[in-house]
Amino acid sequence: MAKELAIVLNNGGVNSAVTTALAAQRFRLIMLHVVTGAANDDDARDTATRTRVAFDQQTAHYKPYREHVLEMPFLAQLQAPGGPKKSGDGADAKQQSRLGQQLLELLPVVSAAARFAAHYQAVSIHIGLRVGPAADELAQGTEYVQVWQELLQQSCGFPDLDVSAPLLEMDPWQVVDLGVQLNVPFDKTWSCVGDAGEPCWACRGCRAREAAFHQAAKPDPLRTARK
């Protein structure tokens, strides 16, 4: 009997790769990648290109049933003034921006995933949202996921559609540790906020990634491969 379908949001980062691996254990995958880089923003466009490369590499690894790339440049154009640029990884979004802003930016992305779920008659939407174990933020993130699920199941008429955020309460190092257990291809993920062909290992995304692998006592294949 064929596995049921699941929509997986994948931005090319660490959280996305681990979430994809978890979903692949139970479902056939439909992987979605959202491009947010504005056409008139060279840095955003280049970073979007690099995260797209990571998505393509993960697609080749996981071999999903379908994959889609969605262009949403308005998300970058509507970014809060003075706010930090979005990391390609999102591995420690709690520190990079206020949780409320992160959840706000996810709204149109999850909405698009829901539309694809309806089209493919998928039974699950997997998102790599991670807020950590802090009680207040965990409660906020949990409520966010529950509201989406109730909206889709009750108001939109998809009673069997589940919204899953399996990494929600984890610390970054726990995500890395789980990913190693699942044989996640971390060398095919991208965390740097820069636009170079190689990670800079100095930006907030690279530093957060390095700290997560260090705390998990695991080597980062993306870094060791470059040595």
Spatial contact of 23 and 126, defined as CB atoms under 8 Å apart: yes
**pLDDT score of 46:** 56
Q: What's the token pair of residue 16?
A: 């996305």
Could you read off the pLDDT of 62-110 as tens digits, one per residue? 999 999 999 988 877 665 444 444 444 444 444 445 799 899 999 999 9
What is the average pLDDT value for the chain, to the nearest integer? Answer: 88
pLDDT at 114 over 60: yes
What distance in Å separates the CA atoms of residue 168 and residue 138, rounded to the nearest whole number? 7
Could you read off the pLDDT of 20-39 as tens digits, one per residue? 999 999 999 999 999 886 55
Could you read off the pLDDT of 161-204 as tens digits, one per residue? 999 999 999 999 999 999 999 999 999 999 998 767 789 999 99
Other CB atoms within 10 Å distance of the CB of residue 4: 13
Closest CA to 35 of 55, 7, 65: 55
Question: pTM here?
Answer: 0.87
Ordered by where they begin, the domains of the chain are 5-224 (3.40.50.620)
What distance in Å separates the CA atoms of residue 73 and residue 128, rounded to the nearest whole number? 21
In single-letter form, the type of residue at position 213 comes to F
